[in-house]
Amino acid sequence: GAPEHISTATDYNIFVIYTKENYQLHVKFELFAKSLLKFANSGMLLHLHVLTDETSGHSVEQILESEIRRYRRSIIYSLYSMHLCAEQVMDIVNTMTPYFSSTPKSYYSDALFFLSLGLHRIADENMERAILLDCDIVFRADVRLLFNEFEKFAPDHLFGLAPELTPVYRHILYRYRANYPQTDFGSPFYLPPSQQQQQQQQMAANMVSEESSLVLHNGHKLHKLDRFHGPAKHGYPGLNSGVVLLHLQRIRKSSLYHHQLQDGQVRRLTSKYMFKGHLGDQDFFTLLGYEFPNLIYRLDCVWNRQLCTWWKDHGYSDVFDKYFTCKGRIKMYHGNCNARVPE
Ligand code: UDP
Ligand code: MN
């Protein structure tokens, strides 16, 4: 029989979207492929799944083949038709766009930004886990180390995402935060000591009344207990979807998740937080992660070190750095909003 190691089944499945190619995107994908292969030293085979279109697909093959030759690595890669993938998630896209999209509907440009929410339909039904990456990611470590993060998932965790490193959700939640000044939704992850103290005092003051009513802004039990046992030490700045760990097996089986994808639930969530977004899937993940904190594992920012500084020059220079802080040795840079990645 065929030797086992020839099998194409691998535990390291990475998905990336590469469509509507232009020069800028081409350069990004080159850097993505180059750094991916450079740091993927040894061990189990990687399987790269690229969602692409007819014209962009030629570059994908050419870039991958040339980097595979350069670094003498073996990986498996498969190309998927973005057109067919878009059709498989159309219902989700149609539900989400009114709440989380700023541009008017257009062919599959919308599908691209919500694809993560339906990836469990696109991936092979036997695939248990996968990681979806933006192609403006640049690796500084072996991507297989990121798969170890799945081992840290609690039993309820479906997804893993790193925090958003700009005040974009402080901006979007402006009205909600004005109505609920004590909220940590839209606050930076690392709160300054003064604000932690304030939260602590507020918690102590609220303890009795909240204990008797047991009604908090969000109905989750574990979350409730967390809040009773002590002050929140961190803010919740939202999530960034440039790096998404997906526990596909659990996602397929989660009735709670599928319920939250329904229009009624998305409407309920967005109106509760007076939320009108424009960042696609990450707006949905951000709301989901606040409402149901046990569904989403918080990935460390070193796995998605975003570099976009747009909000620094657009009204948030005073607080920007509190959001942008990321301590630790960077494993993956994210050159979002076309930011340059350091050499
Ligand atoms: N993308 C694509 N074609 C496009 C725009 C985006 O294939 O015309 C894919 C690509 O993988 C990209 C991801 O969608 O990384 C998300 O877009 P982008 O990274 O530009 O958004 P940002 O991270 O800057 O918000
Ligand atoms: Mn990106």
pLDDT, tens only, 81-137: 999 999 999 999 999 999 999 877 655 678 999 999 999 999 999 999 999 999 999
Closest C-alpha to 133, from 121, 115, 148, 109:
115
pLDDT of residue 205: 62
Give the residue, by CA position, lying nearest to ligand 1 atom 15. 134
What pTM did the predictor assign? Answer: 0.90
112 touches ligand 1 (CB under 6 Å) = yes
Among 17, 101, 306, say which to mutate for ligand 1: greatest number of ligand atoms within 8 Å of CB: 17
* pLDDT at residue 4 tops 50: no
Residue 100 near residue 285 (C-beta atoms within 8 A): no
CA 219 to chain centre: 23
Residue 178 near residue 72 (C-beta atoms within 8 A): no
For residue 88, what are the β-bridge partners? none
* pLDDT at residue 210 tops 70: no
Which DSSP symbol is given to 246?
A: E
19 touches ligand 1 (CB under 6 Å) = yes
Q: What are phi and psi of 16, to 5 degrees?
A: -145, 145
* pLDDT at residue 8 tops 90: no
Residue 273 near residue 170 (C-beta atoms within 8 A): no
pLDDT of residue 214: 45
Closest C-alpha to 137, from 303, 320, 8:
303
Amino acid letter, 104 = P
Among 15, 25, 63, say which to mutate for ligand 1: greatest number of ligand atoms within 8 Å of CB: 25
Q: What protein residues have CB closer than 5 angstroms to ion ligand 2?
A: 134, 136, 242, 336
Pairing relationship of beta strands 76-81 and 46-52 according to DSSP bridges: parallel
> What is this model's ipTM?
0.99
Q: Is residue 213 very low, low, confident or very high in pLDDT (cuts 50, 70, 90)?
A: very low
312 touches ligand 1 (CB under 6 Å) = no
- Which ligand ends up closest to the CA of 333? 2
Pairing relationship of beta strands 332-334 and 305-306 according to DSSP bridges: parallel
Atom of ligand 1 nearest to the CA of 51: 7
Residue 237 near residue 188 (C-beta atoms within 8 A): yes
Q: Note the pLDDT tens digit of each residue in 41-68.
A: 877 799 999 999 999 999 999 999 999 9
